Structure formats: structure tokens, C-alpha cells
Structure 1
Amino acid sequence: MSNAYSPVPELNSLKEFQERCGSEYYANEFELVEFGKPSGAETYSDEQEFIDSFVCFARANRSGSDYAFWRVDHRADLAASPVVVFGDEGGICVVAGNIRDLFRQLGCDWWQWPSWESAQFMEPDPDDKPSPRHGDYLEWLKENFGLTPPDDPNELRHIAEAEFGARLESWVDRFYQDPMDL
């Protein structure tokens, strides 16, 4: 039996990095959580097909939003699956086309602001200090994956939304109807 954090090598590498960081953030309010723990999916539907289609792996912000892989088409490589965020106040939105795109977005050190309409990354105020271990994260990202952050993390979000957004919305509608629409 493996002691690995997850079946995703990229996340295992990040978990090792996070453990070296201790309690200090390396990307704005992001932190890995127990892999596969219940995500916000249970608040949208009790249908097992729906719940099993999301694999939670991280907290997106301090207010309780979660990142999860969406098993959109049961890809063999979970790391190649799109990443969604379950907003703490509602909404399920596509954030990244895969885990490496999310890693690049985290390299911007912007905070995640999910809503019912979208999951924007918001640029910190000029007076805000970067996450304490952000420089270490950028080095880790470059050394381990040869990646650098985009100028704006929303660029990658827009690409992922164009590819998966309508499909996610249509799929979620099969299982969830907003009480306000009843």
C-alpha cells in the first residue's frame, strides 16, 4: 500500500513542498486538504453519480471554497482533468483545464473569488504583501515542471471556461435545480 497523498504525482510533489512550508502560505490562501474529502458537491445533489464526479484536493480560499477535479469523461490521468471550484456561497465553476494550469495560476498569488457566474482570480491590492513562501513556490514550479505563471491567471481560466464551461453547466443542470428557479 502506498503512502502517497494522492494518485496524482503532481499533487504528491506539491504536498511535499507544502509540508516544507509549514503553516505559511505559498499562494494566496491556497492549501491542500485531505485528498478526495467531500467537496461542495454534496450540497448540490445527493445523486452518487454527481458526487463521484468530483475529487476534492484543496482549499481555494479561507472562506471555504474548494478545488476539485471534475471527472468530465473519466480520463485515465486525473491530472489532465479540468479543475473546478465550489464556491463557499454557491456556484460551481471551471477554473483550469488541468492541474498544471492551476499550478501556473497559483504562481500569480492572486486570490480566488468564486460566485455563481464565474470563479475570477482577483489581483491583490498594491499594499498587500505576497504570500510568505511565494518565491519558494515559483522556484518549485520552475524546477519541477518548467512552468512560470501567466501575466493574468484569468487568461487560463477563460481558456478552460471556453472548453468546459458550457459542458459543466449543462451537466450540473441534470442534477441540480436552483431553488430560486422553482
Structure 2
Amino acid sequence: MPELNLLSELERRLEGEFISDGFELFEFGEPKHDAWSDAQEFVEAFLPFAQATGSGSFYALWRIDDRADLATLPIVVFGDEGGVHLTGRNLRDLFCQLASDRPLSVDWSDACFGEYEGYHRERDGAPQAHQSYVAWLNQHFGLEPASDPNDLIEAARNDFGARFETWIEPLTQEI
């Protein structure tokens, strides 16, 4: 995916500094969700691509259909302690959420972005990494940080929530 390849290049240039609290790309499509359901349909429907939190939650694209442009697929988060939730309508929504630099909280019932805490920015180089990301986002996509990243979660739920819940419930009843 061109968008994730560009972001990966930025992460390499930043030499390990996080662009946003808890976010880090990993091998695209690497299965991390196969323990959530035995249903092949479930496993094939998600393309994991990044850590969402420092505790192990991760982001994945939801293959809602067979569209060619994967960046337009909805974004879900798998919680390290449970829960699978929509978080964005597409990759650009996620990019704007990351630019707000607020920590994501995920549990069985919900996913939401908390208030900015700033503790991860105390290391040398960390504030510059986030500023570099915000500039990168504007340069490559003409986008700005979301003023409230939870508004984008709500938009994803409005657009895809009913369909997602109807689809996922029978596939995850045993977890």
C-alpha cells in the first residue's frame, strides 16, 4: 500500500521514535488475530498492519468488500484485553487520529481516544518525531490532526457499525 509504504519510510527516518502514542507499523498482513475466531472468513477479512497501543492492541483493515484500493477500507482495532471495534472509515481517518497524538484505550465494550497525556514525549527526539509526522501528513495528503479523534470513530460507526456488528457477532461468539 503506497500510504503505508510512505509512513514506513518516515518511521525509518525517525529511527525508532514514535509518531504517535503507542503506534508502530509491523509486517503488513501478519496474522495476529487468528486466535480470535476459528472461522476462515474472519481470519481472511482482516489485514493487520500496526500496533495501536504500547500494551499490544493492534490495527487492521477490514475487508468489507473486494475493492482494489485497500487504503479506503474501514479500520478496526483489536484490543489486547478484548474487543474488536471500528475506529476509522479509512486509512486517512486513522492518519488524522494519530496526528492528534492521544492515547487509544480499548476494552471489550469500546475503543476511544483519551486526553493527551504527554508522558511519551519526554524522551529526547520524541516531540520532533510527532512534529515531523504532522508535517508529513500535510505534505503528502493535505490533512491536519483531528481536533477530536473520537469524532472519526463515531463517523466510522455511523457508516459501517451496523454492518460490522451483524457480520462479526456470529464469528466471535465463542470468545
Contact 2:96 2:144 in 1 (8 A): yes
Could you tell me which amino acid in structure 1 is paired with residue 21 of structure 2?
Answer: N
Name the Cα RMSD after superposition.
1.3
- The percent identity for this pair of structures is 46
Provide the C-alpha distance between the structure 1 equivalents of 2:8 and 2:80, rounded to a whole number of angstroms: 23
For 1:166, the equivalent position in structure 2 comes to 162
Taking structure 2 as the reference length, the TM-score comes to: 0.92
Q: Secondary structure at the match of 2:11?
A: helix
Could you tell me which amino acid in structure 2 is paired with residue 81 of structure 1?
Answer: L
Provide the C-alpha distance between the structure 2 equivalents of 1:168 and 1:114, rounded to a whole number of angstroms: 17
Unaligned runs of 5+ in 1: 1-7
Provide the C-alpha distance between the structure 2 equivalents of 1:10 and 1:146, rounded to a whole number of angstroms: 13
Contact 1:39 1:55 in 2 (8 A): no
Q: Secondary structure at the match of 1:58?
A: strand
Contact 1:113 1:120 in 2 (8 A): yes
CA apart distance, 1:31:
0.3
Contact 1:29 1:62 in 2 (8 A): yes
Provide the C-alpha distance between the structure 1 equivalents of 2:146 and 2:27, rounded to a whole number of angstroms: 28
Q: Secondary structure at the match of 1:37?
A: coil
Could you tell me which amino acid in structure 1 is paired with residue 163 of structure 2?
Answer: R
For 1:67, the equivalent position in structure 2 comes to 59
Contact 1:39 1:54 in 2 (8 A): no
User: Could you tell me which of 111, 115, 119 is aligned with 1:128?
Assistant: 119
For 1:118, the equivalent position in structure 2 comes to 110
Taking structure 1 as the reference length, the TM-score comes to: 0.89
Structure 2 residue 54 is the aligned partner of structure 1 residue 49: no
Query: How many positions carry a matched residue from both structures?
Result: 170
CA apart distance, 1:174:
2.1
Structure 2 residue 143 is the aligned partner of structure 1 residue 143: no
Could you tell me which amino acid in structure 2 is paired with residue 72 of structure 1?
Answer: I
Q: Secondary structure at the match of 1:68?
A: strand
CA apart distance, 1:120:
0.2
Structure 2 residue 90 is the aligned partner of structure 1 residue 98: yes
Structure 2 residue 2 is the aligned partner of structure 1 residue 9: yes
Cα 1:39–1:129 shift into 2, 3 Å: closer
CA apart distance, 1:178:
4.3
Q: Deviations over 1:123-155 (max 9, x none)?
A: 123x63644311010000001110001211001
For 1:3, the equivalent position in structure 2 comes to none
For 2:26, the equivalent position in structure 1 comes to 33
Q: Secondary structure at the match of 2:105?
A: strand
